[in-house]
């Protein structure tokens, strides 16, 4: 049973917190970066608009600076220019001194009250440089955009027209955006939490399904393949789990079959030996019968020894602990050595093994002992499954970078069903041959470990096993 996770560590809460954190970070970035940038851009736009209307709008004031215009007409002209520019216009007089010129008094103002509390830094800069200057200042305590235009008469600045426009509209717009952003952030945070729980719930169900299935597999209860309902990472994980389960199922079946077959193969000779021992305990047994029983017992002992060696080899192959040596050898020499081991059977007429080897030999890089073991299995298999005296041919050759050793016999051949199962463990096509059905399985495993393969060609009257391996 799976352990219940703490609520705050569940996938739902984690995803919801992640979504909220992402939304919060985005809101903070907009609040402290995007909105200030927007406000600065709007301020700059106001400043540019004021400058565009201030420069041409100051032409009548520049003409008035060249005359001795009276106060009332000048006030009326200033108000007209201010109305045209949609800004407050303050006309400053410039005081001449030994130092830089600077504004010192208000000549006229577009508002009814001539008193105005505003900064004059922009106006002073324009008077000193005799150029149009724009920037920000303060008027009656509020921030405004300002454009100062110098009015030149006889090569000197007589007046400076200071245009001022309030930023109230911009500030109200920015404040509205901030309020709307705050509301949108709260809504987005709520939606993030809901979306996090929904997405996490969907993912959690799929993960729990995998978890439950993995628990059953761990307990040895294989389940039907899980449905793959998406192509995302969880879908790929589900496919991998299904593939793993199928492989584990095959391994489990193979393990059970291996244990059952091995037990059966061991039980048969052990029971036979037990029966022979009981017969030997009979004191009335004649010498000929006793010798026959001893010979049969030797046969069963040999069978047990071969079975034990085969089982050990298979277990080492399955465990991956089989180490292969690499050396330069001549396959023709190995074939001659292996065939010489069957000389006793050939002298008794049980087997007739013929060699067909090239004159120059066949050199390859391989494990000498393992190649010899494969050859023993193939030759012994050919002799064991053919009638006594049936010719068996062993040949070696090299072609197209591949070394080949072929063991062919002219026996009855294999049927289609048997041909497809000869490399299966514990498969014995003929129960009378005394084998355990492990030799060809071991040969196939060894060949594959050496990057080779064993091919079978069989037809009535001829069966050939060909061991192929790379040849440098």
CATH number, residue 130: 3.30.450.20
Report which of residues 329 and 439 the model is more confident about: 329
The reply to whether 307 and 370 lie within a common domain is no
* Runs of H (alpha helix) within 150-232: 168-218
Q: Which of 275, 292, 317 is the last residue of a domain?
A: 317
The reply to whether 382 and 459 lie within a common domain is yes
The reply to whether 362 and 237 lie within a common domain is no
Amino acid 80: pLDDT: 92
Q: CA 309 to CA 380: how far, in whole Å? A: 15
Give domain status of residue 47, yes or no.
Answer: no
Amino acid 2: pLDDT: 45
Q: Which two tokens stand for residue 329?
A: 């050898």
For the ranges 47-51, 222-226, 266-270, 433-437, the maximum mean pLDDT occurs at: 47-51
The reply to whether 337 and 445 lie within a common domain is yes
Q: CA 202 to CA 212: how far, in whole Å? A: 16
Q: Do 443 and 318 form a contact (C-beta atoms < 8 A)?
A: no
pLDDT for 202 beyond 50: yes
Q: Do 60 and 81 form a contact (C-beta atoms < 8 A)?
A: yes
pLDDT for 146 beyond 70: yes
- For residue 89, count other CB atoms closer than 10 A to its CB: 27
The reply to whether 290 and 331 lie within a common domain is no
The reply to whether 347 and 298 lie within a common domain is no
- 427 φ, ψ (degrees, to nearest 5): -85, 125
By residue range, what is the domain housing residue 115? Answer: 58-166
Encode pLDDT of 242-265 as tens digits.
888 777 776 677 667 666 666 666
Q: Span 219-244, mean pLDDT?
A: 77
The reply to whether 341 and 466 lie within a common domain is yes
Encode pLDDT of 343-393 as tens digits.
877 777 677 888 888 877 788 888 888 888 888 888 888 888 788 878 888
CATH number at residue 393: 3.30.565.10
Q: Do 447 and 467 form a contact (C-beta atoms < 8 A)?
A: yes
Report which of residues 394 and 191 the model is more confident about: 394
The reply to whether 405 and 352 lie within a common domain is yes
User: Judging by DSSP bridges, how do beta strands 391-399 and 352-356 pair with one another?
Assistant: parallel
The reply to whether 339 and 462 lie within a common domain is yes
Say which DSSP state 118 is in.
B
Number of H helices, E strands in the chain: 13, 12
Report which of residues 38 and 16 the model is more confident about: 38
Q: Do 433 and 411 form a contact (C-beta atoms < 8 A)?
A: no
Encode pLDDT of 80-89 as tens digits.
999 999 999 9
Q: Which two tokens stand for residue 153?
A: 């008469």
Q: Which of 166, 198, 217 is the last residue of a domain?
A: 166
Amino acid 115: pLDDT: 58
Q: CA 352 to CA 409: how far, in whole Å? A: 10
Amino acid 319: pLDDT: 59
* Runs of H (alpha helix) within 281-327: 287-319
Weakest-pLDDT range from 120-124, 158-162, 174-178: 174-178
The reply to whether 341 and 440 lie within a common domain is yes
**Buried b / exposed e along 384-420 (16+ C-beta atoms within 10 A):** ebbeeebebbbbbbbeeeebbbbbbbbbbbbeeeebe
- For residue 333, count other CB atoms closer than 10 A to its CB: 16
Amino acid 317: pLDDT: 66
In this structure, the chain runs to a length of 472
Q: Categorize the per-residue pLDDT at 164 as very low, low, confident or very high, splitting at 50, 70 and 90.
A: very high
Q: CA 335 to CA 363: how far, in whole Å? A: 12
Give domain status of residue 183, yes or no.
Answer: no
Give domain status of residue 195, yes or no.
Answer: no
Give domain status of residue 181, yes or no.
Answer: no
The reply to whether 293 and 340 lie within a common domain is no
Q: CA 65 to CA 4: how far, in whole Å? A: 89
Which residues, 6 or more positions from 225, have their beta carbon under 8 angstroms from its beta carbon? 242, 245, 246
Encode pLDDT of 308-357 as tens digits.
776 676 666 665 656 778 888 888 888 888 888 888 777 776 778 888 88
Q: CA 64 to CA 56: how far, in whole Å? A: 14
Q: Which two tokens stand for residue 164?
A: 């001022």
- For residue 436, count other CB atoms closer than 10 A to its CB: 24
Q: Which of 258, 287, 317 is the last residue of a domain?
A: 317
| Nearest one of 122, 125, 127 to 137, comparing CA atoms | 122
- SS3 of residue 404 by DSSP: strand
**Which residues, in sequence order, are bridge partners of residue 458?**
463
pLDDT for 425 beyond 80: no
Encode pLDDT of 50-74 as tens digits.
999 999 988 898 888 888 888 888 8
Amino acid 148: pLDDT: 92
Amino acid 431: pLDDT: 47
The reply to whether 264 and 289 lie within a common domain is yes
Give domain status of residue 197, yes or no.
Answer: no
Amino acid 1: pLDDT: 41
Q: Span 449-463, mean pLDDT?
A: 85
Q: Categorize the per-residue pLDDT at 145 as very low, low, confident or very high, splitting at 50, 70 and 90.
A: very high
Q: What is the mean pLDDT of the chain?
A: 80
Count of domains for the chain? 3
Q: CA 459 to CA 455: how far, in whole Å? A: 14
CATH number at residue 244: 1.10.287.130
Q: CA 17 to CA 4: how far, in whole Å? A: 20
Give domain status of residue 74, yes or no.
Answer: yes
- For residue 193, count other CB atoms closer than 10 A to its CB: 18
Q: Where do we find the tokens 């001795």?
A: 68
Q: Which two tokens stand for residue 456?
A: 């079978």
- SS3 of residue 51 by DSSP: helix
Give domain status of residue 437, yes or no.
Answer: yes
Q: Where do we find the tokens 């292969």?
A: 324
Which residues, 6 or more positions from 162, have their beta carbon under 8 angstroms from its beta carbon? 89, 90, 91, 92, 103, 118, 120, 122, 123, 146, 147, 148
pLDDT for 231 beyond 90: no
Q: Which two tokens stand for residue 142?
A: 């509020």
Give domain status of residue 353, yes or no.
Answer: yes
- For residue 79, count other CB atoms closer than 10 A to its CB: 16
């Amino acid at each position: 049973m799976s352990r219940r996770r703490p609520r705050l560590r569940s996938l739902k809460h984690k995803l919801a917190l992640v979504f909220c954190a992402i939304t919060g970070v985005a809101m903070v970035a907009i609040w402290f970066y995007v909105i200030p940038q927007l406000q600065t851009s709007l301020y700059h736009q106001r400043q540019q608009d004021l400058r565009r209307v201030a420069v041409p709008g100051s032409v009548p004031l520049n003409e008035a600076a060249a005359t001795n215009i009276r106060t009332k007409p000048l006030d009326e002209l200033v108000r007209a220019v201010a109305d045209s520019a949609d800004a407050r216009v303050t006309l400053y007089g410039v005081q001449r001194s030994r130092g830089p010129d600077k504004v010192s008094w208000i000549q006229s103002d577009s508002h009814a009250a001539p008193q105005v509390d505003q900064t004059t830094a922009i106006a002073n800069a324009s008077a000193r440089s005799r150029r149009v200057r724009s920037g920000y200042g303060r008027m009656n305590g509020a921030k405004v955009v300002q454009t100062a235009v110098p009015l030149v008469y006889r090569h000197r600045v007589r007046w400076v027209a200071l245009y001022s426009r309030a930023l109230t509209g911009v500030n109200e717009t920015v404040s509205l955006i901030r309020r709307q952003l705050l509301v949108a952030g709260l809504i987005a945070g709520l939606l993030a939490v809901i979306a996090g729980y929904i997405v996490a719930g969907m993912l959690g169900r799929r993960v729990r399904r995998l978890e439950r299935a993995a628990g059953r597999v761990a307990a040895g209860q294989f389940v039907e393949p899980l449905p793959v309902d998406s192509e995302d990472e969880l879908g790929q994980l589900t496919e991998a789990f299904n593939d793993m389960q199928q492989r584990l199922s095959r391994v489990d079946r193979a393990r059970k079959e291996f244990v059952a077959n091995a037990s059966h193969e061991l039980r048969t000779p052990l029971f036979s030996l037990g029966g022979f021992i009981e017969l030997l305990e009979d004191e009335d047994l004649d010498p000929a019968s006793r010798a026959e029983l001893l010979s049969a017992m030797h046969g069963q002992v040999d069978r047990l020894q071969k079975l034990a060696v085969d089982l050990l080899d298979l277990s080492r192959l399955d465990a991956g602990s089989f180490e292969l040596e690499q050396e330069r050898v001549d396959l023709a020499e190995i074939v001659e050595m292996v065939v010489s081991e069957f000389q006793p059977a050939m002298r008794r007429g049980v087997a007739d093994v013929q060699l067909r080897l090239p004159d120059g030999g066949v050199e390859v890089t391989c494990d000498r002992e393992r190649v010899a073991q494969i050859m023993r299995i193939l030759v012994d298999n050919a002799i064991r499954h053919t009638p006594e005296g049936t010719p068996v041919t062993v040949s070696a050759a090299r072609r197209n970078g591949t070394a080949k050793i072929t063991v062919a016999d002219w026996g009855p051949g294999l049927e289609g069903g048997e041909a497809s199962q000869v490399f299966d463990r514990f498969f014995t096509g003929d129960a009378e041959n005394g084998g355990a059905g492990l030799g060809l399985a071991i040969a196939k495993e060894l060949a594959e470990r050496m990057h080779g393969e064993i091919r079978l060609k069989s037809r009535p009257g001829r069966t050939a096993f060909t061991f192929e391996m790379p040849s440098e």
